[in-house]
Structure 1
Amino acid sequence: MLLWINGPFGGGKTQTAHELQRRLPGSVVSDPEHVGFGLHRMLPAPLRADFQDLASWRHGVHEVLDLALRGYEGVVIVPMTVVEPAYFEETVGRLREAGHEVHHFALLAERETVLRRLTERGLGRGLKRESFAVGMLDRCLERLSGPEFAEHIRTDAVSVPQVADRIARSAGLTLAPNTDGPLKHRLRKAWTGIKHIRFD
């Protein structure tokens, strides 16, 4: 089974993916951004545009996830923003056509909520460090609200563990109980955020 967690940048995809992995024994997080940033490193800086526009990224993501699903027994969790319907079909659609069980979730929130989250992860620089995410925000929210990107989960007033619980229930999975108190939850979120700071 594959759980694809979509949403705007700053929408909680990575936090949710790692919460699911923490509470779902045998699961693994497979992040397609690693493929994209690898492709970026191969290109001269002036040619580094949106890596999703590269057919090699879309085909590579499909190939790697297809291999993981065929060769690994645990649940594969994918946190990745994809808002172009054609690219969605080349990744999620092709995996479904290959016979894999793919559950897709779009994490949505009000614009102000996402901006606040982006500010919190901006390492004291506000939204300056998140200019790409802010520039894409309205497009992401509009596109992902469409029916082709269902199942939709509103995250404004729910915690990361609650979002993970919702995803698990929808996919027919049973998570280990969440035993984190408020302080441990905040520390865990902060540590996950620090581990996924990107300098590419």
Structure 2
Amino acid sequence: MLVWINGPFGGGKTQTAHELHRRLPGSVVCDPEHVGYGLHRTLPPSLRGDFQELPAWRTGVVEVLDLAASRWDGVVLVPMTVVEPEFLDQTVGELRRRGHDVRHVALLARPDTVRRRLRGRALGRTLAAATARSGFAPGESFALARVEHCLQRLRGAQFAEHLDTDELDVAQVAERVAELCGVDLRPTAGRVRGGLQRRWTALRHVRLG
């Protein structure tokens, strides 16, 4: 099974994927952003736009996830924002056409909830200089500007299953995703340990631009 966790930027996709990974034995997290970052590194900075616009990104993501889902015995967890129906069909749809059991869940919330989560991201001391003027890392500003656009698109029928997360914490979101996908999770690590694990996950996935 491949579980694609969609949602707006700052909607909790990465945290949910890693919570599932910690509580779902044999699972693995495969992040399509790394394919995009690799493509960016091959281009001059002035040509680095939205990597999802590159056909090579969509093709590369399908090839990588096709390999992972074919060769890995456990559940493959994929945290990735995709809000263009055409791009969803070329990734999730293509993987299904190749015969994979792909479960898609879009994490939704009110715009104010998403903005609050974005502002509360643990960016760490290494971002102090980068955020001195705006208060946000470059990626955070981009995410804030696209909150309404992402949520509007993701509420479309083609992006189901939908999961509203306003009143849920990360552990509860993971449990609801697992329930929708029909998999059983281990118990939580406990409030303190779970909080430390989620903080570490946030720090590991800080993006400087």
**TM-score, normalising length: structure 2:** 0.92
Give 3-state SS (helix, strand or coil) of 2:68's partner.
helix
Do the aligned partners of 1:18 and 1:29 also contact (CA within 8 Å) in 2? yes
- The question of 1:167 aligning with 2:177 is answered yes
Q: Residue 207 of structure 2 aligns with which residue? A: 198
Partner SS, residue 167 of structure 2: coil
Deviation for aligned residue 1:107: 0.3
Given that 1:118 and 1:127 are in contact with CA atoms closer than 8 Å, whether structure 2 keeps it comes out as no
- Give 1:153's aligned amino acid: L
Q: Which residue of 2 aligns with 1:59?
A: 59
Corresponding residue for 1:142? 152
CA deviation string 1:54-111 (max 9, x = no partner): 0000000000000111111110000000000000000000001111000000000111
* Cα distance, 1:56–1:45 mapped onto 2, change above 3 Å: same
List runs of 5+ in structure 2 lacking aligned partners.
none
Residue equivalent to 1:94 = 94
Matched to 1:164, the amino acid is A
Q: How does 1:31-46 map to 2 (within 5 A)?
A: 31-46=31-46
Q: In structure 1, how many angstroms separate the alpha carbons of the residues matched to 2:56 and 2:181? A: 30
The CA deviation at 1:171 is: 1.1
Structure 1 outlier segments of 4+, above 2 Å: 122-128, 183-186
Question: Whole-Å Cα distance in 1 between the matches of residues 200 and 147 of structure 2?
Answer: 24
- The CA RMSD over aligned residues, in Å, is 1.3
Shift of 1:122: 5.9
Which sections of structure 1, spanning at least 5 residues, go unmatched? none
What whole-Å deviation, never above 9, does each CA across 1:19-65 have from its counterpart, x for those lacking one?
00000011000000000011001100110000000000000000000
Percent identity (aligned): 58
Q: CA contact under 8 A between 2:4 and 2:104: conserved in structure 1?
A: yes
Give matches, 1:104-119, under 5 Å. Answer: 104-119=104-119
Does residue 136 of structure 2 align to residue 128 of structure 1? Answer: yes
The alignment status of 1:155 with 2:165, answered yes or no, reads yes
SS at match of 1:100: coil
Match of 1:13 in 2: 13
- Paired residue for 1:29? 29
- Cα distance between partner residues in 2 of 1:122 and 1:17: 17
TM-score (norm 1): 0.96
Q: Distance in 2 between matches of 1:195 and 1:128?
A: 17
Shift of 1:187: 1.7
Is this contact kept in 2: 1:68–1:76, CA < 8 A? yes
